[in-house]
């Protein structure tokens, strides 16, 4: 009996892959003393936890400077490279709201980057949004999911009344540690070209695999709101 549906953001609800790759690439151009990563190396990071990723790349002393440059680039490139919500996502979210589910986002994206993006795509209202700024430990640690449940008034003893929809191994592991159900969103280009699908095939847990966003409605129809 699912009460709440929590979503990862980038690669799950919205397509920001090219935006992120170009933003990191342009940001690193400002740090010539740091070995320049090629696009494939940056893509392999799948780095939406921006400050933490930049801290690893440029070091602790330069991380804040790099992050500010990153945000400038992210904002400037957004209109050109942001590819919007994935097909069917907007209508899927509307249906979930009509059905009475609590909805939330738990993302590695920073709060400032979320504010830039949310101003340019209408995903509707969420009952809770947890970004990288609101957690101590990033995914696969369950901090974000646990905090989202707390804010939604769902005790940990009722974690199985929550499903987390994500597109990565770290999303699945975070869901497992938080004790919530997991549904794998496999509709993005990134998922279809990386190891997540093959990794899922080797797992024997009971989770849903969503080929298209409408599959989530079918999955939840078998788990009525409590």
Q: How far is Cα 159 from Cα 175, in angstroms, rounded to an integer?
A: 10
pLDDT at res. 199: 72
pLDDT at res. 222: 84
Give 151 or 202, the one with higher predicted confidence: 151
Residue 5 has pLDDT above 60, yes or no: yes
Distances (CA, A) of 103 to 77, 93, 198, 219: 29, 8, 29, 16
pLDDT at res. 84: 96
Q: Are 130 and 108 in contact (CB under 8 A)?
A: no
pLDDT at res. 158: 97
**Residues constituting the chain:** 226
pLDDT at res. 8: 96
Query: Quick one: pLDDT band at residue 212, thresholds 50, 70, 90?
Result: very high
Q: How far is Cα 17 from Cα 161, in angstroms, rounded to an integer?
A: 31
pLDDT at res. 224: 52
pTM: 0.92
pLDDT at res. 40: 58
Give 37 or 153, the one with higher predicted confidence: 153
Residue 118 has pLDDT above 90, yes or no: yes
pLDDT at res. 209: 87
- The owner of tokens 């939840």 is 220
Mean pLDDT value across the chain: 89
Residue 105 has pLDDT above 80, yes or no: yes
Strands 162-166 and 181-185: parallel
Helices 17-28 + 50-58 axis angle, to 10: 30
The pLDDT tens digits of the residues spanning 42-74 come to 655 555 689 988 888 888 999 999 999 999 999
Those residues whose C-beta lies under 8 Å from the C-beta of residue 33, and which sit 6 or more positions away, are: none
pLDDT at res. 216: 97
Q: Which helix (H) or strand (E) holds 4?
A: strand 4-7
Q: Are 132 and 109 in contact (CB under 8 A)?
A: yes
Q: Which of 133, 195, 149, 148 is nearest to 170 (CA)?
A: 195
Say what percent of the chain tops pLDDT 70: 87
């Amino acid at each position: 009996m699912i009460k709440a549906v929590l979503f990862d953001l980038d690669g799950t609800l919205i397509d920001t892959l090219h935006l992120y790759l170009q933003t990191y690439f342009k940001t690193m151009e400002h740090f010539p003393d740091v070995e320049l990563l090629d696009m494939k190396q940056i893509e392999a990071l799948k780095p939406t936890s921006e400050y933490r990723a930049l801290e690893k790349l440029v070091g602790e002393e330069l991380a804040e400077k790099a992050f500010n440059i990153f945000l400038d680039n992210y904002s400037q490139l957004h209109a050109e490279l942001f590819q919007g919500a994935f097909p069917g996502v907007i209508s899927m979210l509307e249906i979930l709201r009509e059905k009475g589910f609590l909805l939330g986002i738990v993302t590695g994206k920073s709060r400032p980057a979320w504010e830039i993006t949310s101003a340019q795509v209408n995903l509707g209202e969420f009952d809770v949004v947890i970004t990288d700024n609101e957690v101590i430990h990033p995914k696969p640690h369950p901090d974000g999911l646990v905090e989202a449940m707390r804010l939604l008034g769902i005790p940990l003893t009722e974690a199985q009344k929550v499903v987390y929809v994500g597109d990565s191994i770290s999303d699945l592991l975070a869901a497992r540690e938080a004790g919530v159900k997991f549904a794998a969103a496999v509709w993005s280009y990134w998922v279809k070209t990386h190891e997540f699908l093959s990794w899922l095939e080797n797992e024997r847990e009971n989770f849903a695999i969503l080929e298209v966003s409408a599959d989530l409605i079918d999955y939840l129809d078998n788990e009525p709101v409590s």
